[in-house]
């Protein structure tokens, strides 16, 4: 690693460097609006750390301070990327050190991430635990009319006891109403039964997908909510519906009954914890949905 490498906190004027590095490595392109929205207009305490070699940006690592339903504060890693020519040279460890100090300074002892396969490998090399591979649940349009009742499914565990990311009104306004790329719509039965969806066109295949990015339900109202969601998807002329549900959750069982199938994707759930509470290292204690990942 060159002695000229420095790590600094991002400023608004660094946005063009961020966009240039991001767009160099991803087919999913970004812009200055996203940069400002994610790191300078967020409802959550947010920082982006940037590694420079001379005047060249060679690495980025964002962190957002959120809360989880176990009443703990949590850091969530976003937009972690090392330029390909500078990987395995210690840049990730420099950025990780800055992120870890920021978290500990803010009384955060657990960090989570939802990286792709390359990020998963990098996080593991820095002492993170990879708890699970997150697959997508997909419903093809030929199965859209499968509205059979599912209220007879046995649901003995309390899904509300699982650890989830807290999404208060301020967060939801920032995440859904101010997103620079996506337009979200809510299907609301009542304050305890709702779904948030968005329409997404795959630039590679041209397939139009309807994502159920978040969902809250009761068993008694699930069929009603699902039917309204699917009615909306049909009106949006989408080709398939995708969502996330972990295999140990009630939602996973319900969606399989509706015809969803598990489709492999390269997304992982990783945590780093500076304590000794084992609950955070067991994926079956967590509830993760699409909106928890910055790409949705």
Instruction: Collect all residues with Cβ–Cβ distance below 8 Å to 233 and sequence separation of at least 6.
Output: 144, 197, 210, 241
pLDDT digits (tens, 9 = 90+) for 93-109: 999 999 999 999 999 99
The answer to whether residues 15 and 51 touch, using CB atoms and an 8 Å cutoff, is no
pTM above threshold 0.85: yes
pLDDT digits (tens, 9 = 90+) for 178-217: 999 999 999 999 999 999 999 998 777 888 999 999 999 9
For each of the domains in the chain, give its residue range(s) and CATH number, in order of start: 5-132+267-292 (3.40.630.30), 136-263 (3.40.630)
Strands 240-243 and 261-263: unpaired
Instruction: Report which secondary-structure segment, H or E, holds 197.
Output: strand 193-201
Q: State residue 265's pLDDT score.
A: 85
∠ CA 22-27-32, nearest 5°, is 40
Instruction: Report which secondary-structure segment, H or E, holds 108.
Output: none
The residue with tokens 């005047």 is 55
Which stretches of the chain are DSSP H helices?
Answer: 15-25, 32-39, 91-105, 117-125, 169-172, 219-235, 250-257
Quote the tokens at residue 22: 């991001």
3-state secondary structure of 22: helix
- pLDDT of 288 over the 90 cut: yes
pLDDT digits (tens, 9 = 90+) for 42-91: 999 999 999 999 999 999 999 999 999 999 999 999 999 999 999 999 99
């Amino acid at each position: 690693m060159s002695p000229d490498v420095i790590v600094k906190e991002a400023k608004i004027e660094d946005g063009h460097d961020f966009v240039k590095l991001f767009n160099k490595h991803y087919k999913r392109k970004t812009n200055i609006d996203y940069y400002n929205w994610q790191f300078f207009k967020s409802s959550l305490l947010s920082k982006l750390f940037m590694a420079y070699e001379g005047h060249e940006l060679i690495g980025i690592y964002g962190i957002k301070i959120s809360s989880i339903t176990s009443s703990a504060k949590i850091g969530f890693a976003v937009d972690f990327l090392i330029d390909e020519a500078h990987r395995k040279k210690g840049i990730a460890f420099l950025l990780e050190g800055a992120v870890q100090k920021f978290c500990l300074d803010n009384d955060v002892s657990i960090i989570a991430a939802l990286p792709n396969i390359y990020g998963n490998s990098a996080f593991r090399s820095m002492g993170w635990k990879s708890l699970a591979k997150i697959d997508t649940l997909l419903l093809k349009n030929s199965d859209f009319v499968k509205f059979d009742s599912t209220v007879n499914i046995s649901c003995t565990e309390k899904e509300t006891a699982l650890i989830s990311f807290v999404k208060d009104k301020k967060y939801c306004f920032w995440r859904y109403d101010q997103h620079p790329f996506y337009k979200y719509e809510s299907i609301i039965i009542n304050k305890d039964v709702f779904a948030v969806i968005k329409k997404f066109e795959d630039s590679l295949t041209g397939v139009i997908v309807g994502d159920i990015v978040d969902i809250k339900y009761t068993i008694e109202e699930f069929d009603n909510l699902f039917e309204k969601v699917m009615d909306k998807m049909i009106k949006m002329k989408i080709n398939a519906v995708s969502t996330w549900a972990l295999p140990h959750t009630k939602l996973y069982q319900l969606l399989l009954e509706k015809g969803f199938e598990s489709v492999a994707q390269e997304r992982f759930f990783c945590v780093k914890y500076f304590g000794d509470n084992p609950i955070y290292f067991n994926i079956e204690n967590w509830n993760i949905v699409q909106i928890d990942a910055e790409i949705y």
